[in-house]
Structure 1
Amino acid sequence: MQILSRRPIVAGNWKMNGNKSLVSLLEDKLAHEDLSHLDVVICPPFPYLGLFGDTVSLGAQNMSMHDSGAHTGEVSASMLQETGCSYVILGHSERRADHAETNEIVALKVEKALAAGLTPILCVGETEEIRDGGNLFAFLAEQIDAVEQQIGILQFAHIVLAYEPIWAIGTGKTASPEQAQEVHQFLREHLAKKNSDIATKINILYGGSVKGSNAKELFSQQDVDGGLIGGASLNPEDFLSICLAAKQ
């Protein structure tokens, strides 16, 4: 792998999966390996956040854009911070599709997360129709720009980006390493128009059917700094192999 100054990150998004047993199995598997070469983040469902030790960094899968109040079922950024979270996934395609989260809502959530000292894992990505229609880069730029307009480019120094081609999530399809690199390079160059230093330093993760068998080739791309892992994060052996593939 080409040596980069950016420290790799591998984040596991359990979605609405997992149980207490998986918490123990995963922690035991990771505890016996030297993973000092990267940051490992686990984003389990809310009920399991308090069960993890210090083997991994914790992230939530979502949070409210409100600080507190009459918002039944919501969880605030400050609550996540008190629970021990360091990260929070925001703008995931499933939240955008299932809960009508717009670019503007995502931007407000990013702002709240940063104010609470959390690191947002900001997800951007396109459907197959958008890609095939030739609107890929304009679509991704709109997602990025909505956040930049809300918080300013300097705050991107405290954000992790995750590119998730929606057509490759849970489908078994995976963007080729060259396709992933092309988009990651575009995202970095788009940010560089506002601030080249931040663009150089920001971590951009790939999320889209990453497995132990393809992780090394994906992570070897110049602008791919790790992965946001879905299904494979539920298998401790597979997830460990992905973490080991992120060696610089």
Structure 2
Amino acid sequence: MSEPTTAPRSLFDLTGRRALITGSSGGIGLELARGLAQHGAAVVLNGRTAARVTGAVDALRAEGLDATPAVFDVTDEAQVGAGIARVLADGDLHVLINNAGIQRRGALVDLPLATWDEVLRTDLTAPMLVSRAVAPHFLGRGSGKIVHVLSVMSEVGRRSVAPYTAAKGGLKMLTRAMCAEWAPGGVQVNGLGPGYFRTDMNAALLADPAFTAWVEGRTPAGRWGDPRELVGAAVFLSAPASDFVNGQVLYVDGGMLAVL
């Protein structure tokens, strides 16, 4: 039997690849950027606030990692177009991770329409805008990876988070629609679905002993996740290892969705 032509370790090697991660000036986005860079990628960090993005870039560079900034608002179509044009003018792009997102809690019956629109525009429309801006480049080359950061809320609902649940559920289906359209052109579009993680977005929940007890009891692993535990899945979905994986969602939730 002949030996495989590709050494197993190369399947997860991102050397020579450039990745844009939206909403990466902190939190999960920054951890994903750090993880991809540690596996060889040149990472482009994105956010709306120049000072925060620059600070995150400087932090990664201090660790010896290849990082550059891309400051633009992912909810603004004109800014997205101009921002992606600048990113591509600076070099090739191989991976897009749509991570930018917000959460607004409140009873649906009282929720202002402006709040609904804000969440849907950030968590669902923005990934469409950025992906659509990048797709022609990927399709023209015949390869590319798009990873949408979803949530367990793409599958289940809870009280007080209706806009977020609607957006993340929609993003799951957008992942499949993009797969249907772009897979024939060599592009893989998949989702990464975190469970409950220790992030700034969840600070209020983390501070609530009753909610933390619920998370620990509801999750088979018995704890909250650490953002660093998302890196392996993100690297897989960004690397050659996932070249025949398309339209799928990889949930990293400590087993929450697997059990009642």
Pairwise TM-score range, normalised by the shorter structure? 0.3 to 0.5
Whose helix fraction is larger, Structure 1's or Structure 2's? 2
RCO greater where, 1 or 2, for CA within 8 Å and sep 6 or more?
1
Query: Which TM-score applies when normalising by structure 2?
Result: 0.40
Q: Highest Rg: 1 or 2? A: 2
Query: Which TM-score applies when normalising by structure 1?
Result: 0.41
